[in-house]
Amino acid sequence: MATALIILAAGQGTRMNSDLPKVLHPLGAAPLLHHAMRAGAALEPERTIVVVGHGGDRVRKAALAYDETAEIVVQDEQLGTGHAVAQALPLLAGFDGRVVVLFGDTPFIRAETLEKLAASTADVTVLGFHNHDRPQRYGRLVVENGELTRIVEFKDATPAEREITLINSGVVACDAGILSDLVAGLTNDNAAGEYYLTGIVAIARARGLSTAAETCPEEETLGIDTRASLAAAEVIFQTRARAEAQENGVTLTAPETVFFALDTVIGRDTVIAPNVVFGPGVTVESEAEILAFCHLEGCHISRGARVGPFARLRPGAELAEDVHVGNFVEIKNAILDEGVKVGHLTYLGDAHVGEHTNIGAGTVTCNYDGVMKHRTEIGARAFIGSDTMLVAPVKIGAGALTGSGSVITEDVPDDAVALGRAQQVVKPGLAKKLFEKLNSSKAKRQKEAE
């Protein structure tokens, strides 16, 4: 059966105490919304509709950045979850399939759970979880003879109903046509004056439709409401990501110190040392090694490459096989071909370095003139001496050599040597005279101060 997603992402999240819409707060270096969209994408939905409200333009942009085919609908007034779904339903007119309603601030629902919801044969299926501590905030799912008979909000529940351990998550699956009819029957006759999506269960029962509850671990339904819950969610995400990496054949020598992003991809037999942070957009192929205290973002690292310690790879960094990037090296928007060595204390930005070239310590590609960025091209098997300043735009030919301490402002042909130093001048005995003068001046000042 065809599937459509409605993701509710209109809430302000007042308890976050933030100007940033709640669904845009980062978890695993990605907005919460992206986690929900990624979870829903496991169903291969024909349609994905995101309901936006508070900070709608920013949420729209984030949604489309993840899935450019997503459809956006605006909930101008936040009048409850039922009202939010009602804004999306006109886009599903004529859709013949199952609709799954998710929340943009609920990042951990697994694909297997959503598949159970989508495959349920009940007219309305609600996702719940068991909590034997019986939290006071949440509604209870009342199941009788295998059917979900009603959802009872805590404040309306009897003492016996409050003892129920099956808790409502709010996630719902329903056939599109039925959902439209049920939502149309919702009322806002409650203390908050809002239209609650959970009300469709009672309406469905009254109309003789089938209703059911599916369950999942409580962790999957965790919603983010506060900074504290966001921090707790980060712990859960990182724990999952580390375990998944290890299961996929990645060695983490100190797992608790490595931090992943939502889209991090690492090949088997790669070794990750302690205190490594992966920002968004990082792919590491098999048999690479990332040493301690590296920060990686928006980069690609090929098989057998070695990075760190204390290296930073920024967006656009492309490392071919067997490249070595050492300590205190920064790479940005630069391609390093096979076997390049950049040992230490170097910045390469907006550059292309040919295969098996050696970059000496302290080398800088001077790529920014205050207005524009310029590229540096270095050929294969070149040798760049320590403390070389490459003032872009500039090209260094294959097999060329630059002398240590050079400032290179012009192109260097293949196999040439380039020296760009100021002439050294030696003044015999002058150092002694200068130090005597300086020490005398210092002693005079100290005496005057007394």
Six-digit token pair at 316? 């656009």
Tell me what percent of the residues of the chain surpass a pLDDT of 90: 87
The yes-or-no answer on residue 344 being catalytic is yes
pLDDT of residue 284: 98
More confident residue, 441 or 192: 441
pLDDT band at 211 (very low <50, low <70, confident <90, very high): very high
pLDDT at 91 over 90: yes
What would the pLDDT profile of 15-24 be if each residue is shown by its tens digit? 999 999 999 9
- Residue 72 makes CB contacts below 8 A (sequence gap 6+) with 49, 50, 52, 60, 63, 64
Supply angle C-alpha 14, 15, 18, rounded to 5.
Answer: 65
pLDDT at 303 over 80: yes
Question: b vs e for 339-352, b when ≥16 Cβ sit within 10 Å of the residue's Cβ?
Answer: bbbbbbbbbbbbbb
Six-digit token pair at 197? 């999506």
pLDDT of residue 422: 85
Of 315, 259, 325, give the one whose Cα is nearest residue 290. 325
pLDDT band at 156 (very low <50, low <70, confident <90, very high): confident
Residue 120 CA, distance from chain mean position: 32
SS (H, E, C) 21-32: CHHHCEECCEEH
Residue 66 CA, distance from chain mean position: 11
Amino acid (1-letter code) at residue 329: V
Identify the active-site residue in 25, 130, 324, 344. Answer: 344
pLDDT at 178 over 80: yes
pLDDT band at 137 (very low <50, low <70, confident <90, very high): confident
The packing angle between helices 81-88 and 176-184, to 10°, is 130
pLDDT of residue 38: 96
What would the pLDDT profile of 376-435 be if each residue is shown by its tens digit? 999 999 999 999 999 999 999 999 999 999 999 999 999 999 999 888 899 999 999 999
Beta bridge pairs of residue 381: none
Domains of the chain as residue ranges with CATH: 3-221 (3.90.550.10), 227-418 (2.160.10.10)
Six-digit token pair at 140? 């209870």
d(CA 360, CA 448) in angstroms, rounded, equals 49
pLDDT band at 58 (very low <50, low <70, confident <90, very high): very high
pTM: 0.90
Cis peptide before 274 (omega within 30 of 0): no
pLDDT at 99 over 90: yes
Residue 439 CB burial class (10 angstroms; 0-12, 13-18, ≥19): exposed
What is the mean pLDDT of the segment spanning 118-129?
95
